[in-house]
């Protein structure tokens, strides 16, 4: 943990100037990206949410997949802290689009995304939409236990309405999932089509937060292709799996593309109240 903190501090120092420039540029804009689309009237937004198919995940299935935040309590507490800090930073900047990524695969992006999503959903005054954009290894449907044959790729290509590929869990949380892996998704993740999809989701569902479960940064250019669409990012590093060099390189790469909110150290297995799922968080901004 100490060595990771040192690496984070070094990476932070190295890219402070870049980040300061990006934050200044973001705050200088007339409005954040996500506010450029006029939201629909609130009754229409409520109707759009009401029209989404509902799904109730099984508690045991979620627990098997290490999703522990559906209810509050000791196990969800660290994710609730992550949620609150993330929300505070995002609100302060007027940001709503949060990317979750990591240096390599298997660090826990999807697991953290789901825990963050259910923690956000316990705040009843905000709406959250989660998009599975790890198109080579989409996992969110499987983590939810969702059988629906939703394909977010159809919504990206514009051949289906966004709402037709989405599922609602509870009142204020929706997932756009996909099942069929795509072998070369970079062209789907960059450019106008994905931007248009995000604008449509924002206009129809008026989410306060959109979370993107992205591919890893150091394996392909998929995440980098998408990141200009995000306002900010969290990096998930896996202790005993992500090397310091990978964390450092990933953070530098992320900082070139977006605002890095922090690094979540997953699978750290440190002793203490939360050792069940080993979790730590370091702010980089």
Ligand X SMILES: Nc1ncnc2c1ncn2[C@@H]1O[C@H](COP(=O)(O)OP(=O)(O)O)[C@@H](O)[C@H]1O
Residues that bind ligand X (CB under 6 A): 65-66, 102, 105-111, 139, 266-267, 277-278
Out of Mg ion, ligand X, none, which partner does residue 66 contact, by CB within 5 to 8 A per kind?
Answer: ligand X
Out of Mg ion, ligand X, none, which partner does residue 255 contact, by CB within 5 to 8 A per kind?
Answer: none
To ligand X, the closest distance from the beta carbon of 213 in angstroms equals: 7
> CA-CA distance, 101 to 251, in Å (whole number)?
10
Tell me whether residue 57 or residue 108 sits nearer to ligand X (CB atom). Answer: 108
Strand partners, 209: 128
> CA-CA distance, 190 to 115, in Å (whole number)?
26
To ligand X, the closest distance from the beta carbon of 233 in angstroms equals: 14
Out of ligand X, Mg ion, none, which partner does residue 102 contact, by CB within 5 to 8 A per kind?
Answer: ligand X
- Choose the binding region for Mg ion from 74-82, 133-141, 203-211, 232-240 (rule: CB under 5 A): 133-141
Secondary structure tally for the chain: helices H, strands E: 11, 8
Say what the alpha-carbon torsion angle 137, 248, 16, 4 is, to the nearest 10 degrees. Answer: 110
**Any contact of residue 139 with Mg ion (CB under 5 A)?**
yes
Angular region, 243: left φ>0, alpha ψ -120 to 50, beta rest? beta
Tell me whether residue 111 or residue 204 sits nearer to Mg ion (CB atom). Answer: 111
Tell me whether residue 33 or residue 268 sits nearer to ligand X (CB atom). Answer: 268
Out of Mg ion, ligand X, none, which partner does residue 107 contact, by CB within 5 to 8 A per kind?
Answer: ligand X
Contacts 24+ apart (CB under 8 A), 23-30: 23/93, 23/259, 23/285, 26/93, 26/95, 26/231, 26/259, 27/93, 27/94
Could you list the beta-strand ranges (E) of 24-165: 97-101, 128-132
Binding mask 71-110 for Mg ion (x = CB under 5 A): --------------------------------------xx
Residues that bind Mg ion (CB under 5 A): 109-110, 134, 139
């Amino acid at each position: 943990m100490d060595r990771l903190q040192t690496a984070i501090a070094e990476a932070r120092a190295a890219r402070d100037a870049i980040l300061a420039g990006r934050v200044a540029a973001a705050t200088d804009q007339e409005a954040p990206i996500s506010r450029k689309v006029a939201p629909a009237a609130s009754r229409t937004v409520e109707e759009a949410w009401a029209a989404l198919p509902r799904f109730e995940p099984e508690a045991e299935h979620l627990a098997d997949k290490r999703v522990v935040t559906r209810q509050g309590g000791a196990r969800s507490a660290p994710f609730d802290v992550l949620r609150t800090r993330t929300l505070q930073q995002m609100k302060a900047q007027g940001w709503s689009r949060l990317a979750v990524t990591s240096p390599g695969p298997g660090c826990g992006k999807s697991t953290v995304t789901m825990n963050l999503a259910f923690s956000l959903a316990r705040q009843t005054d905000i709406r959250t939409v989660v998009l599975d954009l790890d198109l080579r290894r989409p996992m969110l449907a499987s983590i939810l236990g969702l059988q629906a044959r939703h394909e977010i790729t159809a919504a990206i290509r514009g051949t289906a309405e966004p709402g037709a590929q989405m599922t609602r869990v509870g009142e204020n949380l929706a997932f756009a999932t996909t099942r069929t892996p795509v072998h070369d998704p970079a062209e789907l993740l960059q450019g106008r089509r994905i931007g248009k999809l995000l604008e449509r989701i924002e206009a129809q569902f008026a989410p306060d937060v959109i979370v993107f479960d992205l591919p890893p940064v150091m394996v392909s250019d998929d995440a980098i292709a998408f990141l200009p669409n995000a306002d900010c990012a969290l990096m998930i590093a896996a202790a005993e799996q992500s090397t310091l060099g990978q964390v450092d390189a990933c953070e530098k790469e992320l900082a070139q593309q977006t605002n890095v909110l922090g690094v979540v150290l997953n699978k750290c297995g440190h002793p203490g109240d939360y050792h069940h799922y080993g979790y730590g968080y370091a702010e980089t901004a």
